[in-house]
Amino acid sequence: MQRALALAATPGVPLGPNPRVGCVLLSPAGDVVAEGFHRGAGAPHAEADALARAGAHARGATAVVTLEPCHHTGRTGPCSEALLAAGVARVVFAQSDPNPVAAGGAEALRTAGVDVESGLLADESARLNRAWTFGLVHQRPFVTWKFAATLDGRSAAADGTSRWVSSRPSRLDTHRLRGECDTVLVGTSTVVIDDPRLTVRDEHDLPVAHQPLRAVMGLRELPAGRRVLDDSAESLHLVTRDPAAALADLFSLGRRHVFLEGGPRLAAAFLRARLVDEVVTYVAPMLLGAGRSAVADLGIDTIAAAMRLEPTDVTVLGSGVETNVRLTMT
């Protein structure tokens, strides 16, 4: 199952609205017959991918798959039937399918006489697919808000300079996280003022093969020649100031995980609308006193009204002086 999860997590796959799924077929003796994984909406499901590679060797095999085999005809046929037709004797899956349209594969396979077991590493699969599962339940993309700030919560100095707030290790970490999302979102002001590229780049500052969508929201027109409009990745201008409307548009375009990257007013608008699900913050050992606040006014005037977050993960990056804190909104 660990191997199936690793296959499911293969980087650089443009998934769109579909889950990450991996599958390993084992012979009765326990040897790997074939492996497969899902490569995005419309592509064969992980089980079908593995079955196609196994051919006749699938007969009598055990299918180890990270998600309950589907039992519906959507963009492709039902995996429950494909597994039966191939003569698979046993199915071990991790996570039950939270998609009501596709669920029911386990029951159908059992009824047909296949030995079915579930739950092995289910939490790992659920974690891998948390944005997808969130979308099924809430019908909007999962939002991770990222910002870098000094110890006193400033993201730029009074003159607007911000270049050294985050260190190289934290910038690399940001690129890694960007690459796990399907959309990077900023406001038009950020594009006008900072002219960011918003691409995922490697340690040599070269763009990686698969890039998230670069979405810009706001009513300001985007000046020609801005780097976000170059051809290194897809870009999209959402002409709205309403976070819920922007997320609805992105969801209908098949986007499931938004990486919100500022600036302070956009972050405040999302926070006020309760449309932030996770916060990733890089805190630099630096003080500015005055300067641009990482987040604009949230309309909170007393401590009892503070937005409270649950720390989930703390990492010290670089030379032990910068802290990356991951928080979940409660």
Given the complex with ligand AOF, which of 100 and 225 has the nearer CB atom?
Answer: 100
Is residue 189 marked as binding?
no
CB of 21 to ligand AOF, least distance (A): 3
Is residue 263 marked as binding?
yes
Cα separations in angstroms, 171 against 15, 154, 158, 201:
25, 17, 22, 10
CB of 237 to ligand AOF, least distance (A): 28
Is residue 79 marked as binding?
yes
Given the complex with ligand AOF, which of 101 and 193 has the nearer CB atom?
Answer: 101
Task: State yes or no: residue 23 binds Zn ion (CB under 5 A).
Answer: no
Residues numbered 27-46 forming contacts with Zn ion, rule: CB under 5 A: 45
SS3 258: strand
Residues numbered 69-128 forming contacts with Zn ion, rule: CB under 5 A: 70, 79
121 in Cβ contact with 1 (< 8 Å) = yes
- Annotated catalytic sites, by residue? 47
Of 38, 76, 46, the closest CA to residue 63 belongs to 46
Q: Is the dihedral of CA 150, 156, 158, 161 positive or negative?
A: positive
Q: Which does 104 bind (CB under 5 to 8 A by kind): ligand AOF, Zn ion, none?
A: none
Angle, helices 243-252/264-272, rounded to nearest 10 degrees: 90
Given the complex with Zn ion, which of 45 and 154 has the nearer CB atom?
Answer: 45
CA distance 314 to 317: 10
Q: Which does 67 bind (CB under 5 to 8 A by kind): ligand AOF, Zn ion, none?
A: ligand AOF
Residue 102: exposure state from Cβ atoms within 10 A (0-12, 13-18, ≥19) = buried
63 in Cβ contact with 90 (< 8 Å) = yes
Relative to beta strand 154-156, strand 142-150 is unpaired
Per CB under 6 A, residues contacting ligand AOF are: 18-19, 21, 38, 41, 45-47, 67, 70, 74-76, 79, 97, 99, 102
Given the complex with ligand AOF, which of 72 and 226 has the nearer CB atom?
Answer: 72
Q: Which does 317 bind (CB under 5 to 8 A by kind): Zn ion, ligand AOF, none?
A: none
Binding residues: 45, 70, 79, 148, 162, 164, 178, 190, 194, 198, 201, 261, 263-269
Could you list the residues that contact Zn ion (CB under 5 A)? 45, 70, 79
